[in-house]
Amino acid sequence: MINKKYFATLITLVILRLLFIIYSTNFDLMMFTKDSYHYINLSENISQSYFEQNIENYWINTFRLLGYPIFISFFNQFINLENIIYTNLIFDLLSCLLVYKIIYNLKKDQLLGFLGAVLFLLNPNVLISSSQIMTENISMFLLLLTVFLSKSQKTSYIIFSGISLGLFSLAKPFGVYILIFIIILKIFLFKTGVKKILLFSVIPLSVISLIYLNNFQNYGTSFYTTSSYFHMQWFNDASSALCENFDFNQDRVSEPGYKFEEWKLENKFNNQTEPKIFINNLKQDSQEGTFQNIQCKVASIVRSTTWNLFGIRGSNWNNSFIEQPYLNLVKLFSLFYVVLINLIFILTLFSKKNKSYLFYLLLIIFYLTLISILPYGNARTRVLIEPYLVIIFACNVQYLIKNTFKKT
């Protein structure tokens, strides 16, 4: 059982997070992003069983997966749309419990587990996402649950980890790649047998296959989501812009939504354009320029990695209810938090005291960072790796500090 003092501290932090979300609901700029409206519109289409077939909707209907819109549509039958952000708090609490459990299983130390839970609840990046109608918090929980269950060879754990990854694949476009990556890790790190690999894979593979089949039936061509094509176009354009203007922030202005209008005009597409033609042109155009301006792409990746690892979401904090001078203090704390967590993470890379499971977490961080910085990276895309950074911090901070003092 967790220490009563630890438990009281965690409850206090949970209440503070709840208050933050309550105040945030009065600020539309904070709660609703451009992506939020896409999910909301799709959820309304689902509830009405209506998908208008015109080019203005093709890119949203094929760019976004239906997992989160289905979630919104279901809960919107019982609660107001604005109150859906409270489900983020539930997913954060479940993620917090998993963080504690993973650390405790690794170190057999309640204090370190408590430290990890506190750091997770204080995480400014996750806190911002909790106040937005977005996929980050539910996706973070589902992937963390998959990772937590993946080490076990118990049949029930394997089945549930497959279910959680299947649900994750309905919410995030790179679910198909995560499946392949985790299978490789299970085989080589945890020596999982073929039968159990197949048992783990059956549900996520079924989900992914159904998405491909549904898209083929609706649009006449096979694909998982068009987001990868749009983002590849974005990456090519953004890399060139960065190289031409030598502006470290340049590739943050040409988002897919803005580039779509230009691309549509260039290809003379209109509302009568068939979906198959639209999507196949998008596939083809996204491949052009992939191997051009390599030096610009390297510069863009460096910029993206910096934003991904050290961004503090300043614009989101500016849209919050927090006013000066407290706003600057919050940003300063966010920066301190990010630097501290990443410092321990970097030191851990050179530590010789890594068990296989910690190595597994490190690989998850590297992989998620890699796929989130292409074509761009920002602090929001770091939300998925925040729990793993916290776990590695809690598991290694004591050892690293002792080791540093010994050398000193």
| Per-residue pLDDT tens over the stretch 47-104 | 776 555 555 566 677 888 989 999 999 998 888 888 899 999 999 999 999 999 999 9
- Select the more confidently predicted residue: 190 or 129: 129
Residue of 349 and 246 predicted with greater confidence: 349
- The answer to whether residue 384 sits within a structural domain is yes
- Comparing CA positions, the residue from 4, 18, 23, 17 lying closest to residue 121 is 17
Count CB neighbours of 326 within 10 A.
Answer: 9
Please compute the mean of the pLDDT values over residues 155-176 and round it to a whole number. Answer: 93
**How many other CB atoms are found less than 10 A from the CB of residue 47?**
15
Q: Model confidence over 374-398: pLDDT tens digits?
A: 655 678 888 999 999 999 999 888 7
Average pLDDT rounded to a whole number, residues 311-329: 85
- CA dist 301 and 154 (Å) reads 40
Distance CA 172, CA 170 (A): 6
In a domain, residue 273? The reply is no
Domains: count for the chain: 1
What is the per-residue pLDDT across 261-272, written as a single tens digit (0 to 9) for each? 666 677 777 666
126 in Cβ contact with 386 (< 8 Å): yes
The least confident of 110-119, 313-322, 326-335, 366-375 is 366-375
| Domain annotation covers residue 269 | no
Q: What is the pLDDT of residue 170?
A: 94
State the pLDDT confidence band at 280, using cuts at 50, 70 and 90: confident
CA dihedral 376, 326, 84, 86 (to 10 degrees): 120
User: Does a structural domain hold residue 396?
Assistant: yes
d(CA 159, CA 328) in angstroms, rounded, equals 46
Q: At CA 123, angle to CA 231 and CA 301, rounded to 5?
A: 30
Is 230 contained in some domain? no
Residue type, position 59, single letter: W
In a domain, 40, yes or no: no
Looking at the chain, the whole-number percentage of residues with pLDDT higher than 70 is 82
- Asked if pLDDT for residue 287 goes beyond 50, the answer is yes
| Three-class secondary structure of residue 386 per DSSP | helix
Look over the chain and give the mean of its residue pLDDT values, rounded to a whole number: 82
Domain that holds residue 299: 4-31+79-225+293-407
> Is pLDDT at 142 greater than 80 in this prediction?
yes
Q: What is the pTM of this model?
A: 0.89
Of the pLDDT bands very low, low, confident and very high (cuts 50, 70, 90), residue 353 is: low
In a domain, 307, yes or no: yes
Query: Which residues does 71 contact at the CB level (< 8 Å), separation at least 6?
Result: 87, 138
- Asked if residue 162 belongs to a domain, the reply is yes
Residue pLDDT, tens place only, 208-235: 999 999 888 888 888 898 887 777 776 6
